Structure 1
Amino acid sequence: MTHPEQTALVEAAGALVRWDVLGEPGPVTEVHEQQRAAAWLWELTEDPAVLAAVHRLARLNWAQSWWPASTVAGVPPLHPALLAAEHAVATAAVSHLLDDEQATERALSALLPLPLAALSGHAEALVLAEELAELAEDFGVTPPTPTAALTREGFALAAGADTRPDGVVMQQGSALVDWSMVPAGAVDAAAEATWFILRRNGKTLLEVTARPAPGGVPPRLAAQFGPIDLPLEPTPAGALTGSIPLPANALLLPADQRVLTVYAPGFAEPAPPDPAAADRRAALIAHARTRLDDPAATLTERTARLLWSGA
């Protein structure tokens, strides 16, 4: 897909069914094995309930991969237990048309304790728990015991982290983090990564800082700045930071090489920035905000703000 970050996708038997979360409401179906797809494809046009169930799974798949949690933009993270529970139930509902025959078992294996105490006013949460218990019993799985909501440890740190380094700053800049260059939930969806060339203790250094996403465990990433690569490690201040000594001629790098790319080694290779990425990112962040109060959104999306503010 041209823009996977705005694509809600279901991998069905012999076909892909996808929606553009920023575009038209109807799906696009790409058939690559006609015989396999023919066994279920008719259901999408003849049974609105099946189409709605596939759409729901597609939306949950998008949320798992691309939800733009951001301290900067005020988009709370999704509760992983609710997301896993809704994903398992939605997967089971359309398991007969999925490409992976073990999809429901795999979804059940990702279950986490539901925060039912924090959702005592939401009847939907109890319904979800009951559906999940029935599904788990059918597959011989014991669902985890319900627990409290997420902890906000690290959220305030990330929100207030000072990204300006110690030393005499000689050059500085910032760049968006391409979402396709890092795993889902690795970085704050709206924050820019920053770079500084500075003098400290008689040395010229390049220092790069990225802001991790709220609610997750900061991963180890890397940054490329012109011909220079350096690792980014989590710090107690709640940021991902790395620094590396620079040769004396580093300040003479031409402007087209003073470009910062943050990526996850082994996950993606650095690539030139997409000029249209900023607009798509802003649109997806705005879309996520609407989902927080949309009655048609998933329970996970509609309760994200409640669970995060009360954690």
Structure 2
Amino acid sequence: MTEADVDVHVTQDGTIRVAAGPLGPAFTQAVLDVAGAVLAWPVLGDPSLPVAEVHDAGRAQQWLWAVYGERTAAAVHACAAGESAGVRVRAAMTALAGSVARLGFGHWAFRWWPASHMDGIPALQPDVLGLELAALTHRCQQLFDDFGDQPDDCVAELIEEHQAALDPLIHWWRAASQPADTVRHLESVLRLIDEAADSAGLDGQALRRLRSSLDQRRPVGTPVDLGALFARHGDYALAAGDPIVVGGRVIARGSGTNDWRRYPPGFVDAAENAVSWTARALGARRQIEVEVVADVAAPAAGVPLVAEVRVDGGQANRVSLARRDDMWTGRADLDVPAEAIPPRIEVGVLLPGFDPGPGALDEVQGRADRDAIRDVARRRLAAVAQPLPHDAFAGPFLAEIAATSTGEDF
């Protein structure tokens, strides 16, 4: 157990904040909704205790002492009772705090993992990650209650949504010629899933096969090919075709901004140069073509993904994009003043209704943070080959182990 100083104080809106350290922009935070509070950890930098925004101190007391220790829990109680406006206390990094931080990071990875064919960062298999999140959520049940306002307390939903990975995980667990720590990790996840499913009253053939497998002594089968076990079955392939418009005089071309906050996960390759554009002169007309490298899981149709185009800092115009093989593509006429040759063109990609709007993050710092997130992903994948700590849940996620072994498109 380690310790760290935290500030506990009442904010202007009456929320009690337990601040263990600074937080960056949204895509660099691991966030978890728990009973009476929201917890957040910085993904960049050294691991630390979470920052807590406590909106119901009574409900939060059931876990505060177990995550931060008794002194922090008492300080929150004093603030809630009006006995203190703020105090600095010594908090403990408990075993539960480590599990909760891992759960928060897992939810972050589900939302923000920078999967990129262009950058060579493999995607995490969503069903494998989803089942491990179900196991971790069950392990961290002390943080949740029955009020139903905590979207991250979703064990049953996670198991039902991602149970397609149950049989492959069982096969992986039973396979021969693999490290003992990986076997221990797999068994921990599978047993927690079984316990969670039983507690939630879930049933089904896959869950029955899981129970039957766990009731037996682990039989050792043949070696497993994780690439075959978790391979994606799709037709994604980097296209190398003609531009979407042939002819005309090119007056400008460049790369756009790939701001991950502006669209949901699984839509666009996370590489910084995934957005490109070309401006052409077609007689008296000016036209822009936009190409965006799609994520391997990107929907094929029915999604109003758009590019936002500005010329010389003017009004933003939106260009509808459609999925074509491995690309989102679109084109539209462009209003370019005669004196603006070559024009200064800014292009970004977004999903209307999801987009929080530009300008909330300095673009230079935003790019630096995105590069830092890519470094986090690469370091984690590189560490997969390292021996796991005694606690199986302290190492890489099963989805990260699988990602380093599949590599079907890298």
TM range (shorter): 0.7 to 0.9
Deviation per residue, 1:51-91 (Å, 9 max, x gap)? 12111111111111110001111110000111110111111
Aligned-pair RMSD on alpha carbons?
Answer: 3.1
- Structure 2 residue aligned with 1:285, among 370, 374, 377? 374
Which residue in the other structure is 1:81 paired with? Answer: 127
Can you give the 5+ residue segments of structure 2 that lack an aligned partner in the other structure? 1-22, 70-92, 210-227, 311-315, 389-394
SS at match of 2:40: strand
Alpha-carbon deviation of 1:42? 0.4
Which residue in the other structure is 1:166 paired with? Answer: 246
Alpha-carbon deviation of 1:132? 1.8
1:72 aligns with 2:118: yes
Which residue in the other structure is 1:51 paired with? Answer: 97
Higher relative contact order (CA 8 A, sep 6+): 1
Q: Once structures 1 and 2 are overlaid, which stretch shifts more, 101-110 or 15-24? A: 101-110
- Structure 2 residue aligned with 1:223, among 301, 307, 311? 307
Alpha-carbon deviation of 1:163? 6.4
When residues 166 and 310 of structure 1 are mapped into structure 2, their CA distance, relative to the original with a 3 A threshold, is closer
When residues 141 and 38 of structure 1 are mapped into structure 2, their CA distance, relative to the original with a 3 A threshold, is same
**Matched residue pairs, number?**
308
Q: Following the alignment from structure 1 to structure 2, what is the Cα–Cα distance between the partners of residues 100 and 162?
A: 49
1:35 aligns with 2:45: no
Which residue in the other structure is 2:158 paired with? Answer: 107
Which residue in the other structure is 1:151 paired with? Answer: 232
Q: Following the alignment from structure 1 to structure 2, what is the Cα–Cα distance between the partners of residues 251 and 242?
A: 26
Contact 2:307 2:347 (8 Å CA) reproduced? yes
Which residue in the other structure is 2:403 paired with? Answer: 304
When residues 155 and 70 of structure 1 are mapped into structure 2, their CA distance, relative to the original with a 3 A threshold, is same
1:180 aligns with 2:226: no
When residues 143 and 230 of structure 1 are mapped into structure 2, their CA distance, relative to the original with a 3 A threshold, is farther
Which residue in the other structure is 1:211 paired with? Answer: 293
Amino acid across the alignment from 1:240: W
Q: Once structures 1 and 2 are overlaid, which stretch shifts more, 210-219 or 55-64? A: 210-219
Contact 1:263 1:269 (8 Å CA) reproduced? no
Contact 1:133 1:143 (8 Å CA) reproduced? no
Alpha-carbon deviation of 1:94? 1.5
Q: Following the alignment from structure 1 to structure 2, what is the Cα–Cα distance between the partners of residues 164 and 288?
A: 33
Q: Following the alignment from structure 1 to structure 2, what is the Cα–Cα distance between the partners of residues 144 and 212?
A: 35
Can you give the 5+ residue segments of structure 1 that lack an aligned partner in the other structure? none
When residues 7 and 39 of structure 1 are mapped into structure 2, their CA distance, relative to the original with a 3 A threshold, is same
Deviation per residue, 1:10-59 (Å, 9 max, x gap)? 21222222211112311222323222222210001348221121111111
Alpha-carbon deviation of 1:200? 5.2
When residues 130 and 303 of structure 1 are mapped into structure 2, their CA distance, relative to the original with a 3 A threshold, is same
Which residue in the other structure is 2:31 paired with? Answer: 9
Q: Following the alignment from structure 1 to structure 2, what is the Cα–Cα distance between the partners of residues 262 and 152?
A: 27
Amino acid across the alignment from 1:62: W
Alpha-carbon deviation of 1:204? 3.2
Which residue in the other structure is 2:89 paired with? Answer: none
Q: Following the alignment from structure 1 to structure 2, what is the Cα–Cα distance between the partners of residues 142 and 96?
A: 24
Q: TM-score scaled by structure 1? A: 0.86
1:93 aligns with 2:93: no
When residues 151 and 106 of structure 1 are mapped into structure 2, their CA distance, relative to the original with a 3 A threshold, is closer
SS at match of 1:177: coil
Which residue in the other structure is 2:45 paired with? Answer: 23
Q: TM-score scaled by structure 2? A: 0.67
Q: Which has the larger radius of gyration?
A: 2
1:132 aligns with 2:176: no
Deviation per residue, 1:112-164 (Å, 9 max, x gap)? 41133567445233543343233223322236749942325344336x57768
